[in-house]
Amino acid sequence: MSLKKLLKPFKLISIARRSGVVTVLYPYQKSLITTEFRGKISIDATKCMGCGACVNACPPNALTLSRRDDTIILNYFIGRCIFCGRCAEVCPVGAITVTHEFELASTSTRDLNESLVHRIERCSGCGGGLGATSRMLQYVILHSPASENYVHLCPDCRKKKLIQSLAMKMGARTEDYEG
């Protein structure tokens, strides 16, 4: 019995030898991420059109869309992101890609905010704000070419144009509208 007790450490050494070292030497060794791993998203500023499809899909509202004066601001707060990848799934132009980046520690939450500023297009009739970016208009024209004539107008100008064209068809003269 006592001999068995004495030999116990040697038995453990043999077991440890057989199983080997399992520790991952993280900072010096490549991390264990697979190709399907979802990390931080990256928004391509040259493709994004500011439509807000990603904002609707985002479960924790990490992506938010706000309008200030002449701009639409798409803000991405990494601190609230749950890395589900739904935004990349719904993006109509494929501007959002999911990267493998996971080393996101920072000393302030301000560093965890990324924003993308879009400029709002103006109505070609009255010059008021249109509520859409130029890339959004291009996207609409690309998918329904018939809209090219009135897509640059605001709803009020569009109504005016429609009534005007109807009246013209019914036989009204242009001078009636000028005055």
Partner 1 sequence: MRVDPLKKSIWVFHLNTGSCNACDIEILDALTPYFDVERFGIKLVASPRHADLVLLTGPITRKTLPKVINALRAVPRPRYVLAIGACAVGGGIWYDTYSVIGGVEELKKILEENGIEIDRIVYVPGCPARPEAIIYGVAVLLGLVEQKVHGEVKIAE
**Count of residues engaged in binding partner 1, rule: CB under 8 A:** 45
Q: Which stretch binds partner 1 (CB under 8 A): 38-46, 140-148, 149-157, 163-171?
A: 38-46
Chosen residue from 59, 92, 128, 131 binding partner 1 by CB under 8 A: 59
Please report whether residue 16 would count as binding partner 1 according to CB under 8 A.
Answer: no
Q: Which stretch binds partner 1 (CB under 8 A): 1-9, 114-122, 142-150, 163-171?
A: 114-122
Please report whether residue 108 would count as binding partner 1 according to CB under 8 A.
Answer: yes
Q: Residue 73 pairs with which residues in a beta bridge?
A: 66, 117
Please report whether residue 12 would count as binding partner 1 according to CB under 8 A.
Answer: no
Please report whether residue 131 would count as binding partner 1 according to CB under 8 A.
Answer: no
Taking the least distance from each CB to partner 1, the nearer of 104 and 142 is: 104
Please report whether residue 135 would count as binding partner 1 according to CB under 8 A.
Answer: yes
Largest CA distance in the chain: 117
Which is nearest to 98 in space by CA: 76, 73, 118? Answer: 76
Taking the least distance from each CB to partner 1, the nearer of 27 and 171 is: 27
3-state secondary structure of 115: strand
| Tokens of residue 99, six digits | 């990267």
The rounded distance, in Å, linking the Cα atoms of 129 and 122 is 5
3-state secondary structure of 121: strand
Backbone angles phi, psi at 52, to 5 degrees: 85, 20
The rounded distance, in Å, linking the Cα atoms of 73 and 64 is 8
Binding site residues, partner 1, CB under 8 A = 22-24, 26-27, 31-32, 40, 43, 45-46, 48, 50, 59-62, 77-83, 101-119, 133, 135
